[in-house]
């Protein structure tokens, strides 16, 4: 099982691409940050509005910015996958080993997952619909505020733990 995952997640073609063209790694890193900026800028704006910041903004209008945040998330997902798949080309340790042993990467990924579940909760509990009806100056329901706080906390955690990944231990 380990051997299978090691070779599958290692994706020799991605590894080869990075070995042959060093710029792929750097471009992906920059795009990972660009994606992060788009996600945090738009989702952060929505979260803060739900918490009562800049209440004059109608929530339904802020949501029109969210597709840029989704685009940013996809950018992060694709480039993040390239980091794991091509890890060996950069640090001579297969991505699978880092996934398996670096506690900071694991915490980051759990936080991403929790942020996803939090978003799901935003829709499933009807808070998204309720937020759409908020007129300028109106307060969001309590549950929507709780979800917004969780979103801010989780995304900040994602960024914090992501930066600790290189300091983690990657022992097989």
Partner 1 sequence: MLPLLEWIENSAVSTALRDSPNVFLYPTILAFHTLGLAVVVGFSSAVALRILGVAPALPLPPLRKFFPLMWVGFWVNATSGVLLLLIEPTKFLTMVDFYFKLLAIVGAVFCMRWLYRRVFLAGVAGDASLPPGAKFVSALLLGLWLGAITGGRLTAYDDTHTQWVTAIATLVVSAVLLALGWAAVRVWRIVHPMKGEQRHGRAVDELAPLAQR
Q: Which of 13, 53, 70, 172 binds partner 1 (CB under 8 A)?
A: 53
Contacts of partner 1 in 88-107 (CB under 8 A): none
3-state class of 140 per DSSP? coil
- Say whether residue 36 binds partner 1 (CB under 8 A): yes
Complex with partner 1: residue 143 or 164, whichever CB lies closer: 164
Contacts of partner 1 in 125-144 (CB under 8 A): 136-137
Let me know: does 66 contact 46? Beta carbons within 8 Å: yes
Q: How big, in percent rounded to 5, are the helix, strand and coil portions of the chain? A: 80, 0, 20
- Say whether residue 152 binds partner 1 (CB under 8 A): no
3-state class of 100 per DSSP? helix
Give the angle 164-71-12 at the CA atoms, nearest 5°. Answer: 60
Binding site for partner 1 (CB under 8 A): 22-24, 26-27, 29-31, 33-34, 36-42, 44-45, 48, 53-58, 60-62, 64-65, 68, 71, 136-137, 156, 159-160, 162-164, 166-167
């Amino acid at each position: 099982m380990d051997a299978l995952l090691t070779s599958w997640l290692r994706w020799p073609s991605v590894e080869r691409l990075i070995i042959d063209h060093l710029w792929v790694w750097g471009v992906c890193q920059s795009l990972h940050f660009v994606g992060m900026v788009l996600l945090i800028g738009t989702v952060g704006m929505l979260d803060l509005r739900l918490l009562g910041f800049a209440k004059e903004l109608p929530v339904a209008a802020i949501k029109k910015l969210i597709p840029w945040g989704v685009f940013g998330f996809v950018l992060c997902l694709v480039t993040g996958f390239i980091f794991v798949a091509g890890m060996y080309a950069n640090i001579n340790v297969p991505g699978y080993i880092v996934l398996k042993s670096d506690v900071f990467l694991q915490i980051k990924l759990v936080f991403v997952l929790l942020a996803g579940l939090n978003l799901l909760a935003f829709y499933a509990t009807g808070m998204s619909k309720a937020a759409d009806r908020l007129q300028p100056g109106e307060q969001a329901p309590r549950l929507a505020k709780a979800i917004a706080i969780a979103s801010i906390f989780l995304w900040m955690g994602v960024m914090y733990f992501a930066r600790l990944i290189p300091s983690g231990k990657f022992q097989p």
